[in-house]
Amino acid sequence: MSNAAFLARVPLFAYCTAVEIAAIEAVAQEHAYEPDQIIVTQGTPGQAFYTVLSGRVEIVRDNQSLGAFGPGDFFGEMSLLDQAPRSATIRAIEPTVCLMLSSWDFKAVIERHPSIAIKLLEVLSRRLRVADERMTR
């Protein structure tokens, strides 16, 4: 599957046009990780979004495993908008390749394609509503 196809499957970008996906793909970078290599560390400033192209990663919060992600899964989406501390450590558990999108590159894409920001806000608003509904139950 192409990197553009992976990005198009990410819920944050699901409503983006092919031209918008191509703009995002143009600044995304592939990174390979070996087993046990840390990709992001809990508590450090978030500066990038990742989608897993191949392999598997473990999600660890406060030294407790919360599960694993595989191809098509993603993490760090809020880092595209802010540099708040990472909520978990992500560690490769087998040879893994991720597509990484830095927050500064993403912001530059948004400046050239402001329609992406509007679509992103719509998706984030829906996700916030769902989270709010869960909390009120």
Lowest-pLDDT range of 12-16, 40-44, 122-126: 122-126
The pTM for the full model equals 0.87
Which of the four pLDDT bands, split at 50, 70 and 90, describes residue 122?
A: confident
- Across 11-115, the runs of DSSP E, i.e. the strands, are 29-33, 38-40, 48-54, 57-61, 64-69, 74-75, 89-92, 96-102
pLDDT at 14: 86
Q: Which residue has the tokens 């880092």?
A: 79
Domains plus CATH for the chain?
28-103 (2.60.120.10)
Which of the four pLDDT bands, split at 50, 70 and 90, describes residue 131?
A: confident
CA angle 129, 75, 17 (to 5 degrees): 70
Please report how many Cα atoms fall inside a 13 Å half-sphere around the Cα of residue 127, on the Cβ side.
10
Task: Compute CA distances 60 → 64, 106, 107, whole Å.
Answer: 5, 26, 28
